[in-house]
A and B are shown apart, each in its own frame.
Chain A
Amino acid sequence: MSDESEVLEPEIPEIVEEPEIIESTEPTADDLLAAANDKYLRLAAEFDNFRRRSRAERDALYADVRIETVAKFLPVYDNLARALDTECADEAFVKGIRLTMTQLVEILAGLGVQPIPTVGEKFDASLHNAVSQVSEEGIDAGIITAEFQKGFTLGGKVIRHSIVVVNA
C-alpha cells in the first residue's frame, strides 16, 4: 500500500506538467525562424550549385555542339571511303573522289577531329563498339582484327565509336 501511494505521488506533478508539454509542441517563434532560415539556406545552396553547373554546362556547350554537328557529317565520310574501296575503271573519276576525300579529311583534322586507331590495337569499350568476334591464329585475344566503321574523337570526347571486330 505504502508503495502504491509513493507511485501515485509523483504522478500528480506529472499531470501538472502536462499542459506545459502540450504547449511546448507548439512551434515557437525561434522554431519558425530556424525553419525559415533552414529553408532559405537550402535554397541558397541549391541555387549556388545550379549556378555553378549552369556555367559548366555553358562552357561545355560549344564543344558539344561541334561534336554533334561533325557527327551528322560522318556518314558522308563513310560513303566516300566505301566509294574508294570499290573497283572502278574510270581513273579520272576515282581521282576526283579521292581528292574530295582528302579535302574532307583535311577539314576534319582542322576542326581537331581525330580518327580512333583500331586494327592491331587492343579493344577498348570506351572507344570501340564490338559487333563481332573472330578466332584468328597468331593474334592475341582482345586485339581488333577489322574495322567496320571508323570512329572519331574531338578534344578527348568520342564523336562516334569505332565499330570493330575483335579476336577471341
Chain B
Amino acid sequence: MAKIIGIDLGTTNSCVAVIEGGEPVVIANAEGARTTPSVVAFSKEGERMVGAVAKRQAITNPDRTISSIKREMGSAFKVAIDDKNYTPQEISAMVLQKLKADAEAYLGTRVTEAVITVPAYFTDSQRQATKDAGRIAGLDVKRIINEPTAAALAYGLDKEQEQKIMVYDLGGGTFDVSVLEIGDGVIEVLATAGNNRLGGDDFDKCVVDYLLAEFKKESGVDLTGDKIAMQRLREAAEKAKIDLSGLTSANINLPYITADATGPKHLDTTLTRAKFNELTAALVEKTVQPVKQALSDAGLQPSQLSKVLLVGGSTRIPSVQEKVKQLTGQEPFRGINPDECVAIGAAIQGGILGGDVEGLLLLDVTPLSLGIETLGGVFTKLIERNTTIPTKKSQTFSTAADNQTSVEVNVLQGEREIAQYNKSLGRFHLDGIASARRGVPQIEVTFDIDANGIVNVSAKDLGTGREQHITITSSTNLSKDDIEKAVKEAEKFAAEDAVKREEADTKNAGDQLVYQTEKLLEETGDKLESGDKSSLEDGIEKLKSALSGGDLAEIKEKTDELQKALYAVSEKLYAQAAPQDGNGGDGGGYTPPDDGVVDADYEVVDDDGDN
C-alpha cells in the first residue's frame, strides 16, 4: 500500500505533505520551494507549465495563463485555450499533477491516493469538483476535508478533550475564519465567514504606496510610471513586511532608484513597525467583522473558545496577531508554519486513513539520556535523549584499581554531567572479575531498550564471561514536566557541571599518570639512571600530594611536570632499546607511555583490591 499524500489546494499557493516515519513532512517541489503557486499556463507551442514557471511568464501570455482557478471550482466556467475548453476541475488537476509528481520524486514511489482540503464554506458541488480534479490528476481522493479541520489536526487537537476553537486563516489572497467544535474525534464546523479578496498582497501594496508618496515628497519624482523602479519597490515592500514580523523597524535601501537632471536619486528610508501597522490598520480591521460574524453564527462568546489557531502566511504580521488577541481574548496558538499547517493536517488525515499514523507513530523516543556512573562521579551517557527506541548500545569499560574484582554499575537517567544530580534507576554489582592491573579487564556494558521503553542493562566481563544484568521498567513514564525540568536544569547548571567534570577529569588524568609512572619504574627501574629515577619518584610524590590536596591548578601543574619528566626518561629508554634490537621486546609488557591513554571511562567502585 502506497502513501496517502495530503494536499492544500490553495487559491494562490498549494502545498503537499506526507506522513513519513510517523511524522508529517512538507515536500519541496522540483524547484526546491515548499509551496507551489496555483498557476497554470499553456505556451503558444502548446507546452504546459505549472507553478512558479507559469507565474514568471504570465505577463507575456495573459490569455493562456490561469491563476486563482479555485474561485471558479464547481461553476460552469470554462477556460478556452486554442480549440479546447478546460473546466476548473481540469485546470486544478494540472496543479495536483505537479504536486503528485513532486511527491513521487521525493518519496521514490508512485503516489495514487490523496486527501485534499477545501474551504469550510465549499458547497457539495465545489467539493465534488475538487474530488473530480483529483481523479483527473490520477489521484484517488480518499477524503475531502475542511481547511480549518486540517489545521486542527495539524495541532493534534482531535486528540484533546471536547472544545470549541477558532481558526483564523489569512492567506495570500483570501481571508477565512471558522469556528469548530471538537469532541470524540469528530471535528464539526459550527460557523464560517470571511473575505475572499483580502490577503498578503494587500499589505505589500500599502507599503509600496507609502514609499511612492514619501519619495515624491522628498525628491519630487513620481516613480509610478517607472516599471523598473516599481518592480524594485514591490520586492522591497514585501521584504520589509517580512522583516517587520521579527524586527521593530526595517531599513529600505534602494540606491539609484531613478535619476533626474541633478543626478542619481536614492531611496533610503526606515519603516517602523508602528508606521507599518498604521498603514495596514484598515486591512486588519477588515477581518474584524467576519470574526464577529462567525462567533455570533456559532452562538458563542469569545470566552467560550478554548484556542485560536493562526493559518496563512499573513498571520505572521504582529498587528494581525494583536487584533486576534483583542477580538478573542486569547493568545493565538502558534508553532506550526502557518503556510504549511493545512497540508500537514491533510497528511495526518491521510496517515490515519492509511494506517500510518496508528502503525508507526508508536515509535517512541527516550525522554532523557541514559548511562552509568564512571570514575570521579562523572555521568557517562550511553544513549542520548530523544533516541528512537527500540535501540541497543554497548561500551567497554575497565577497572580503576589494580586487582579490583568487582564493579558497581549505577544506571542513571538525566542530562547533568555529574552523576549524583541525575536519577539513579538502579544499581548492581558484577563480581568475580579476574585479578589484574587496573585498565586491563574489559567490561562490556550494554543498554538495550525495547519498544515499550523497558531498559535492560547488562555488564559482562569479557575475560571470564561472567555477566550481571538489571531490568528497569520505569524509564519512560515521566511526565512532560519532569522531562522539561531535567533538561532545563542541565542547561542551568551546565557551567557548574563542566567545572566539576573538569575537576574529575583532571584528577583522573593525574591519578592515571601516577599509576603509569609507577608501573614504568617497577618494570624498568633497573635500566634507569639514578638521576632519572629519582626525578620520576620526586614527580610522583609531588603529584600525589597535589592530588590529596585537591587544588586543581596544582594538580595540573604537577601532572605537566611529571609528564615532561616521563617523556624525557622514556625517550632515553627508547634510545637504549633501539640498538639492542629484538632484545627488549618481550620484557614484561612495557609500553611506551602514551599521553592519549587516559582511561576516564572506568568505574571505581570497589576498592577492596590490595594495592
Q: Do these two chains really belong together in a complex?
A: yes
Q: Pick out which of these stretches binds chain B: A26-34, A83-91, A103-111.
A: A83-91
CB of A116 within 8 Å of the partner chain: no
Verify B108–A49 contact, CB threshold 8 A: yes
Kindly provide the distance from the CB of B343 to the nearest chain A CB, expressed in whole angstroms: 19
The answer for the CA separation of A140 and B53 in the assembled complex, in Å, is 22
Number of residues of chain B lying within 8 A (CB) of chain A: 27
The answer for the CA separation of A131 and B360 in the assembled complex, in Å, is 48
Contact A83/B256 with A125-B57, A130-B58 known, Cβ cut-off 8 Å: yes
In A135-165, the 8 Å CB interface with B consists of: 142, 148-149, 161, 163, 165
CB of B32 within 8 Å of the partner chain: yes
User: Looking at A49, A123, A131, which has the most chain B CB atoms within 10 Å of its CB?
Assistant: A131
Residue of B nearest to A163 (CB): B231
The answer for the CA separation of A129 and B53 in the assembled complex, in Å, is 8
Residues of B within 8 A of A142 (CB): 44, 60
**Which of A47, A53, A123 has a CB less than 8 Å from the CB of B106?**
A53
Residue of A nearest to B265 (CB): A86
Kindly provide the distance from the CB of A145 to the nearest chain B CB, expressed in whole angstroms: 11
Residues of A within 8 A of B264 (CB): 82-83, 86
Verify A132–B49 contact, CB threshold 8 A: no
Verify A133–B256 contact, CB threshold 8 A: no
Verify B231–A148 contact, CB threshold 8 A: yes
The answer for the CA separation of A168 and B41 in the assembled complex, in Å, is 16
The answer for the CA separation of A69 and B53 in the assembled complex, in Å, is 23
Say what secondary structure dominates the interface of chain A.
Answer: mixed
Verify B60–A133 contact, CB threshold 8 A: yes
Verify B359–A39 contact, CB threshold 8 A: yes
Verify B228–A46 contact, CB threshold 8 A: no
Verify A161–B108 contact, CB threshold 8 A: no
Kindly provide the distance from the CB of A96 to the nearest chain B CB, expressed in whole angstroms: 16
CB of B20 within 8 Å of the partner chain: yes
**Which of A52, A82, A166 has a CB less than 8 Å from the CB of B256?**
A82
CB of B107 within 8 Å of the partner chain: yes
Residue of B nearest to A52 (CB): B108
Verify B255–A130 contact, CB threshold 8 A: no
CB of B56 within 8 Å of the partner chain: yes
Contact A79/B60 with A53-B108, A149-B231 known, Cβ cut-off 8 Å: no
Verify B56–A161 contact, CB threshold 8 A: yes
CB of B263 within 8 Å of the partner chain: yes
The answer for the CA separation of A148 and B229 in the assembled complex, in Å, is 9
The answer for the CA separation of A126 and B57 in the assembled complex, in Å, is 9
User: Looking at B49, B54, B59, which has the most chain A CB atoms within 10 Å of its CB?
Assistant: B59
The answer for the CA separation of A131 and B235 in the assembled complex, in Å, is 12
The answer for the CA separation of A37 and B1 in the assembled complex, in Å, is 14
Residue of A nearest to B355 (CB): A39
Kindly provide the distance from the CB of B295 to the nearest chain A CB, expressed in whole angstroms: 42
**Can you report 14 residue pairs joining A to B where beta carbons are below 8 Å apart?**
A43-B360, A49-B107, A86-B264, A87-B263, A123-B60, A125-B54, A126-B53, A130-B59, A130-B60, A131-B227, A132-B227, A149-B231, A165-B227, A168-B60
Give the 7 A-B CB pairs with smallest separation, nearest first.
Answer: A82-B256, A125-B57, A129-B56, A86-B264, A166-B60, A79-B255, A130-B60
Instruction: Enumerate chain B interface residues (CB-CB to A < 8 A).
Output: 20-21, 32, 41, 44, 49, 53-54, 56-60, 106-109, 227-228, 231, 255-256, 259, 263-264, 359-360
Instruction: Enumerate chain A interface residues (CB-CB to B < 8 A).
Output: 39, 43, 46-47, 49-50, 52-53, 64, 79, 82-83, 85-88, 123, 125-126, 128-133, 142, 148-149, 161, 163, 165-166, 168
